[in-house]
Amino acid sequence: MAINLYDQANELERALRQSDEFQQLKNMYDEVNSDESASKMFENFRNIQMQLQQKQMSGEEITQEEVEQAQKAAQLVQQHDKISKLMEAEQRMSMVITDLNKVIMKPLEELYGSVQQ
């Protein structure tokens, strides 16, 4: 990879690391991780989510019981102050990443767009 490209990527990495969105995400993670009951509840929620996703992707059937279990776990974390704040911070970070990707990938979108016409 050309040096200029690598330099620019490193500059963007530093800007991302210093951004409010990343700093807030980091703080919220630390908050949840230093709280044993919160981190266990969050981990349990993530595990349930992942299991359902894997089942969906492999085409396996998801039972009514599993859906209800996932809904209960989601309600629990949404009612938890620290976890809900962490999840909001994750969503904001995810929106930033999406926006960054849109900007960076413009040259390729233009190229592939023009090819598909």
**Looking at beta carbons only, is 6 or 112 nearer to Ca ion?**
6
DSSP letter for each residue of 41-104: HHHHHHHHHHHHHHHHHTT----HHHHHHHHHHHHHHHH-HHHHHHHHHHHHHHHHHHHHHHHH
* Binding partner at 5 among Ca ion, its own copies, none, C-beta below 5 to 8 Å by kind: its own copies
Compute the CA torsion angle 43, 73, 29, 27 (nearest 10 deg).
Answer: -170
Judged by the rule CB under 8 A, the positions of this chain that interact with its own copies are 1-2, 4-13, 15-22, 25-26, 29, 33, 58-59, 93, 96-97, 99-100, 103-108, 111, 115
Residue 28: CB minimum distance to its own copies, A: 10
- Nearer residue to its own copies within complex by CB, 20 or 81: 20
